[in-house]
Structure 1
Amino acid sequence: MGKRIIKEIISWVLVFGIAFLLALIINRFVIFKVEVPTGSMENTIMTGDKVFTFRLSYLFSKPKRGDIIVFPFPDNEELDYIKRIIGTPGDKIEIREGILYINDQEVVEDYIMEPMEKEDMEAVVVPEGCYFVMGDNRNSSMDSRVWINKFVEGDKIKGKAIFKYPNFTWLN
């Protein structure tokens, strides 16, 4: 009877050990969680929401306009940011009187929180291998429009946001 109990305990330890190891591998190489600290992506992602990010999204394809990505802030790579890709390599990005133009075409964005303030941004061309990003809450977002290093390098993108869930404060 004693050997059976020991075998049962060992089997449970092995199951939990393998589950723990798989969780570590998945978290390190496949998906990770980001908590959004600011309102720069509202109303798409609210302050305090948590977002699962898929690390392998761009293994076989390139990021596309409209993707929401996680990346190290180009002016301080110790911080991770989450923003929407607006410009892809070769795109000409310009803002005139609060209206976004990509390659001289006005862009209609149904996901932004409110129209941009009547601001202008001189035209920039997105370099090869880089992306121009902006928050959906344009009037409260520190993004490619104002950074010193305006572009996110493609090889520094950590992943694509795939799923968000709210901050369940009632669980705390």
Structure 2
Amino acid sequence: MNPVMKEIFSWIKVFVIVGLVVILLRMFVMGNYEVHGESMQPSFEDGERVIIDKLSFHFRDPDRFETVVFELDDGRELIKRVIGLPGDRIEFVDDELYVNGEAVEEPYLETDEDGINTSTGTMNTEQIPDGAADVPEGHYFTLGDHRGNSLDSRNLGFIPRDQVVGGAALRYWPIGEFTWISDP
């Protein structure tokens, strides 16, 4: 083989190997997600981009209040906060979240100048008709941080474990908002 063909072949091998590594990283280690809409305000704004940690979710389940991305049956991906773990009872009483009968502080919700929660929404939906929900095994109950404007478990029902893509790990866009994501 002449030297020019050898050089071309060696570059093709490099590009194929790099391409395979990138594909494997995106499939099993990390992913990219763009936030759509207002459902996670003030934690995430419309158009922000985050890196999703897929790798650790092969070995562990999400924690309560962790922000995760999950895929719906129709292929859409949503970013929401895990509120209920398998076996939990979730309910709202006078616009306050209770998990297993205990009131839960939610510092990630938007409040006005008087500290009043402005991110309210109802729990009484078609999926949760009595305002309370018992999370079945292998599923999670998720809510958006902007409760009045969120498509979440109140409408979708419980999210199966195998639909969780990964956890939000790093906000990288807009560049001025570059931060590691640490959920409460």
State yes or no: 1:69 paired with 2:82.
no
TM-superposed CA distance for 1:100, in Å, is: 0.7
1:125 is aligned to 2:134:
yes
CA positional deviation for 1:160: 1.5
Are positions 1:160 and 2:159 aligned together? no
State the aligned residue count: 163
For residues 36 and 121 of structure 2, the distance between their equivalents in structure 1, rounded to whole angstroms, comes to 26
Q: Distance in 2 between matches of 1:51 and 1:100?
A: 27
> Equivalent residue for 2:26?
27
Residue aligned with 1:10, SS: helix
Q: Superposition RMSD on alpha carbons, in Å?
A: 2.2
Which of 147, 151, 154 is 1:142 aligned to? 151
Q: Point out where structure 2 has 5 or more consecutive residues left out of the alignment.
A: 112-116, 125-130, 176-184
Deviation sequence 1:114-146 (CA, Å, 0-9, x none): 31437454221111111000111222212112x
- Structure 1 stretch displaced more, 57-66 or 109-118: 109-118
Give the fraction of aligned pairs with identical amino acids, expressed as a percent. Answer: 36
Matches of 2:91 and 2:58, distance apart in 1: 30
Instruction: Give the 3 Å change call, closer, same or farther, for CA 108–77 of structure 1 in structure 2.
Output: same
TM-score (norm 2): 0.78
Equivalent position SS for 1:20: helix
Q: Distance in 2 between matches of 1:120 and 1:37?
A: 22
Match of 1:60 in 2: 59
Question: Could you tell which deviates more after superposition, 9-18 or 135-144?
Answer: 9-18
